[in-house]
A and B are shown apart, each in its own frame.
Chain A
Amino acid sequence: MKKLKRMKYWFIALMVFTLTVVIVAHEAATSAIDYPKKKIELVVAFKPGGGSDTFARAVARYGEKYIGAPIFVTNRAGGSGAIGFTYGAKAKPDGYVITLIVTTLTIAPHTTPGYPVTYKDFEPIALLATVPSCISVREDSKFKTLRDLIGYAKSHPGKVRLGTSGTGGPWHLAGAALGAAAGIEFSFVPYKGAGPAITALLGGHVDAVATSAAEIYPHVRAGKVRTLAIIAKQPFAAMPNVPTTISMGLDADVVSWRGLAAPKGTPKEIIDYWITAMRKLAKDPEFVKFMSSRGVTVQLITGKAFAEWLAKKHNDYGKIARAAGIACK
């Protein structure tokens, strides 16, 4: 009987202790609003190991201290981001499921029939980075400048094989925009991602590739590839000598962008909390160093400005897609 009584006392003591811990821990949350109380999921709509995944993991790692809660990355790949974006858009708007949104969100709705989600299904938080697209050839290619390529393409329509990372993808759009601006006809050769496209270029199976400047940069550094032009307004920081299409008088501007968004209906306080944290992250020296080591420029646009930026990009890319004849509606 004595043993049972002792056990009861131990049990009560344990309960009291646990309750105390829970209450104290709750009090310890320092934010003015009651957020975040638990860990936050950052949804990446692409495979682990890819560009977006690595970016998201960097945001999680360096951003945790500004958010005040652990951020864990989940990969929900498939359907050119459709699966992950849909999950993120339809999640509970309580601030515990944040989605990494990327360029594909503003392009795929125009080029892929039946794409189920657009930027309008999200509450935008902040744009974090942009990487311009570019067109590149092998180092030993006969095309030394973009003008050479355009000249050849004009006299041999459809003969220049341009590798892309997938029909309807951002880099296909970039190539199409350049083609439309220069009045030339490429023969698009789609691959499953930028990696295989760049491999095909190195093997001489295509004449040129349209990729993001960050993806092709390691190969330019290695001296195997020459980038003819950046298909955007601003030059690429790591390759300052490469001219931009805009500076050459060609109206083609396609950038790869990455940002964060929450499901529509998320309370304004939570969005503002994230915006404040992201402002601090964008200035974090380690984060900036990590980004620039991979050729990514940190560019911050937050809240309403981001929403307007997204709308403009969505419409611009729609226009480019239609002009290039690759739109589905």
Chain B
Amino acid sequence: MLTLLLTVLNLKTVLAISQGVALGIIIGVLPGLSATLGVALLAPLTFGMDPGTGLMILLGVYVGAVYGGSISAILLGIPGTPAAVATVFDGHPMAKRGEGGRAIGIATISSFCGGIFGVILLLLLAKPISKFGLAFGEREYLALGILALTAVAQLSGTSLAKGLFAACFGLFVATIGIDEVHGIPRFTFGSVNLLGGIPYIPVMIGLFAIPECIVNIERLSPRRPKFPPLEKILPSRSVLKKLIKPILRSAGIGTLTGAIPGTGADIAAIISYAQGKSLSKHPELFGTGYAEGIACPESANNAATGGTMIPLLTLGIPGGAVTAILLGAFMVHGLYPGPLLMLKNADLVYTLIIGLFVANVIMLTLGLSAARFFAKVSQIPPALFIPTIMLLCVAGSFSMRNNWFDVHIMAISGLLGYCMVKIGIPRAPLVIGMILSGMIESNLARTVMLCKDNPFKFFTPISSILIVLAALPFAKAQIMYLYNLLKRVM
């Protein structure tokens, strides 16, 4: 193991990983370029390199991109990647208060802790966690989806009804296209483009970016904005102490969620935010620019990067979209991920795990040192900044599928998002609804197929625990009441 450590820690490899992380951060920051797209586009470029270096660069890109999304989420209010949707909620208000640098600092440290936690679990507990992931069948996925959906209640701000409306609309929009279960097109009106469904990334870009731009235009004044004094990036020790528990808990949630095949950093972040808020001592502060509200999703989404590697390396099954691409990259390099990989190429596997560790360290260094520079972005005059953002949105939406239809979707979502902002309907639940719709609907269909003769078959150990976790925040009041009652009686 020590010799492997030395193999990785040579200048060439560390430089390669650094390039990957830096590129990944840039990809993550740019709205429209998600981690998945970044890894997919860069994977073919690594095919000519030796497997270790090539794969480590891709891992660096993955880690960097998941972190990078939080920077634009905080500074611009636009999630750079779907995994940063939950970070906007507390990150952006903090930036608007002039504490953008500190928010980035919290996000960076949380991402680092989460990422390292994920790598440690990958190293020590890969086998049992992969068994856990495999145990997820249609019932468990349905329960997980319901748990993730409860996040809507946490992200609805002041009006639950409006949040639910947005979520239902998101759930509906995602049903447009070919139904996975029956193979029948729905709401496509004969359009070829609608046959493919509405992709949620352009919707997310439009919903968050365009209203920000329009609102900024509304606020344009001839007076130059006053620059707030340069703030500390590193959070104080007392703040860090309070964040330890949420970060660790979110890292656990993130790793486990990532290890479930088919779920990735985005679902991990959503669930962790919801759980974080319901278990917090000050849930009412979430959404106002509260440190914990940034730490939870950021820790979870980076922990998920390690988590998604677990089923990939132990079973050859991708844990999420990015690892599906990594699976392809592995095979091009002549490696077959799965149980055989650990036996035949143990050295390579450990090298990759160490590489992932190093990538997280580099992410911390780059993030903290560049944070001040990033924070200056919010001081760019709106006249320069708004057109650039809009250009990035168009480029980002188009680049996913090389389809102008996606840009139209982005534009329509932008107008919709603007209306939602004016009416006061929260936008995050709409995106969450879209992200979860596919998973919930198809697993509901398969669960019904399985359990139609006996509905109680739905309750397996895992699905029951997940449903209880989902119901807990809502039942909290009742449980506390009963608890106090019992205390008084005893």
Q: Show the binding face of A for B, using Cβ within 8 Å.
A: 47-50, 53-54, 57, 61, 74-80, 82-83, 86, 111-116, 166-169, 172, 187, 189-192, 195-196, 198-200, 202-205, 218-219, 221-224, 290, 293-294, 326
A189 CA to B139 CA, complexed, in Å:
13
- Excluding A83-B192, A114-B195, A224-B339, 13 further A-B contacts by CB distance (< 8 Å) are A48-B37, A48-B40, A54-B332, A82-B196, A83-B403, A112-B185, A114-B188, A167-B180, A167-B181, A191-B442, A218-B338, A221-B336, A293-B331
A190 to B192 CA separation, bound complex (whole angstroms): 23
Please tell me if the beta carbons of A114 and B134 are within 8 angstroms of each other in the complex. no
Give residues of chain B (322-381) contacting chain A, Cβ–Cβ below 8 Å: 324-325, 327-328, 331-332, 334, 336-340
A192 touches B137 (CB 8 A): no
| One of B59-67, B86-94, B313-321 contacting the partner | B313-321
Write the nearest CB–CB distance from A131 to chain B, whole angstroms: 14
Chain B residues with CB below 8 A from A79, complex form: 177-178, 185, 192-193, 195-197
In the complex, the chain A residue whose C-beta lies closest to that of B189 is A114
Complex alpha-carbon distance, A79 and B93, angstroms: 39
A192, B442: Cβ atoms closer than 8 Å:
yes
Do B449 and A167 touch across chains, with their CB atoms under 8 A apart?
no
**Which residues of chain A are near B182, meaning CB under 8 Å?**
167
Chain A residue contacts of B402, Cβ below 8 A = 74-76
Given contacts A192-B442, A218-B337, contact A48 B325 (CB under 8 A): yes
Known: A79-B178, A293-B334. A167 touches B183 (CB 8 A): yes
Q: How close is B53's CB to chain A, nearest CB, in angstroms?
A: 19
Show 21 residue pairs from A and B whose CB-CB distance is below 8 angstroms, ordered by the A residue: A48-B40, A49-B324, A57-B44, A78-B197, A78-B199, A80-B195, A82-B192, A114-B190, A114-B195, A167-B179, A169-B183, A187-B449, A191-B442, A192-B180, A192-B438, A195-B261, A203-B135, A219-B316, A219-B338, A221-B338, A222-B339
B192–A222 CB distance below 8 A: no
Q: Which of A53, A75, A82, A203 is B195 in contact with, Cβ under 8 Å?
A: A82
Complex: chain B residue closest to A47, CB-CB: B40
Q: Which among A169, A187, A224 has the greatest number of chain B C-beta atoms within 10 A?
A: A224
A49 touches B43 (CB 8 A): yes
Q: Which 9 A-B pairs have the closest CB atoms?
A: A78-B196, A79-B195, A168-B183, A49-B325, A167-B183, A48-B40, A205-B137, A79-B196, A203-B134
Contact B183 A222 (CB under 8 A): no
Contact A195 B318 (CB under 8 A): yes
Contact of A77 with B401 in the complex, beta carbons under 8 Å: yes
Closest chain B residue, CB of each to CB of A85: B192
Q: Is B41 an interface residue (CB 8 A)?
A: yes
Is there contact, CB below 8 Å, between B315 and A202?
yes
Q: How far is the CB of A60 from chain B (nearest CB, A)?
A: 9
- B136 close to chain A: CB less than 8 A: yes
Q: Tell me whether A223 and B339 are in contact (CB under 8 A).
A: yes
Cβ contacts under 8 Å, A57 to chain B: 44
Tell yes or no: B138 within 8 A of A by CB.
yes
Q: How far is the CB of A70 from chain B (nearest CB, A)?
A: 13
Contact A202 B181 (CB under 8 A): no
Shortest B217–chain A CB gap in Å is: 33
Q: Looking across the interface, which residue of chain A has its beta carbon closest to that of B199?
A: A78
Interface residues of B in 168-192 (CB under 8 A from A): 177-185, 188, 190, 192
Verify B401–A189 contact, CB threshold 8 A: no
A202–B192 CB distance below 8 A: no
Separation in Å of the B351 CB from the closest CB of chain A?
20
Rounded to whole Å, the gap between the CB of B328 and the closest CB of chain A is 5
The distance in angstroms between the C-alpha atoms of A60 and B331, with both chains bound, is: 18
A218 to B43, CA, bound (A): 20
**Is B262 located at the chain interface by the 8 A CB criterion?**
yes
The residues of B that contact A77 with a CB separation of less than 8 Å are 196, 401
Report the minimum CB–CB distance from A62 to chain B (whole Å). Answer: 11
Please give the distance in Å from B142's CB to the nearest CB on chain A.
12
Q: Which residues of A contact B127 (CB under 8 A)?
A: none
Q: Total A-B residue pairs with C-beta atoms closer than 8 Å?
A: 144
From residue 124 to 145 of chain B, which have CB atoms closer than 8 A to chain A?
134-138
Report the separation of the CA atoms of residues A79 and B182 in the bound assembly, to the nearest whole angstrom.
Answer: 13
Q: When the two chains form their complex, are residues A50 and B134 in contact, meaning their CB atoms are under 8 A apart?
A: no
Kindly report which residue of chain A lies nearest to residue B43, judged by CB atoms. A49
Chain B CB within 10 A, most for which of A54, A113, A187, A290: A54
State how many angstroms separate the Cβ of B301 from the closest Cβ of chain A. Answer: 20
**A223, B325: Cα distance in complex, Å:** 23
Cβ contact within 8 Å between B181 and A86 = no
Query: Given A54-B332, A79-B178, A79-B192, A113–B185 Cβ distance below 8 Å?
Result: yes
Q: Give A115 to B315 CA distance when docked, in angstroms.
A: 36
A87 to chain B, nearest CB (A): 8
A-side contacts of B177, CB under 8 Å:
78-79
Q: Which of B411-437 contact A (CB under 8 A)?
A: none
Q: Return the contact of A221 from the options B196, B325, B340 (Cβ within 8 A).
A: B340
Let me know if B249 is at the binding interface, CB within 8 A.
no
Q: Which residues of A contact B261 (CB under 8 A)?
A: 195-196, 199
Q: Which residues of A contact B183 (CB under 8 A)?
A: 111-112, 166-169, 172, 190, 326
- Give bound CA distance, A114 to B136, whole Å: 34
Nearest A residue to B336, CB-CB: A218
Interface residue from A76, A113, A115, A172 paired with B401 (Cβ < 8 Å): A76
Chain B residue, CB-CB nearest to A167: B183
Q: How far is the CA of A47 from the CA of B37 in the complex (A)?
A: 10
Query: Of A83, A191, A200, which one neighbours B193 at CB under 8 angstroms?
Result: A83
Q: Is the CB–CB distance between A202 and B328 below 8 Å?
A: no
Residue of chain B at shortest CB distance from A43 = B402
A50 near B328 with CB under 8 A, answer yes
Distance in Å: Cβ of A92 to nearest Cβ of chain B: 16
List chain B residues, Cβ under 8 A from A294: 331
- State in angstroms the CA–CA spacing of A219 and B402 once bound together: 34
Q: Which residues of B contact A112 (CB under 8 A)?
A: 178, 183-185
Of residues 1 through 53 on chain B, the ones whose CB sits less than 8 Å from some CB of chain A are 37, 40-41, 43-44, 47
Determine if B137 and A200 form an interchain contact, defined as CB atoms under 8 angstroms apart: yes
- Is B446 interfacial (CB-CB < 8 Å)? yes
Residues of B within 8 A of A116 (CB): 192, 195
Also in contact, A202 and B197, with CB within 8 A (given A76-B403, A77-B401, A80-B178) = no
* B196: chain A residues within 8 A (beta carbon): 77-79, 82-83
What are the residues of chain B within 8 A of A53 when measuring CB–CB? 328
With CB as the reference atom, state the residue of chain B lying closest to A60. B44
Contact A224-B338, Cβ < 8 Å, known A75-B401, A113-B185, A167-B180: yes
A195 in contact with B193 (CB, 8 Å): no
CB distance from B67 to the nearest CB of A (A): 21
Q: How far is the CB of B264 from chain A (nearest CB, A)?
A: 13
When chains A and B are docked, how far (Å) is the Cα of A48 from the Cα of B183? 22
A293 to B336, CA, bound (A): 10
Question: What residues of A have a CB within 8 angstroms of the CB of B315 in the complex?
Answer: 202, 224
Give the nearest-CB partner of A198 in chain B: B317
Contact check, B137 vs A83: say whether CB atoms are below 8 A apart: no
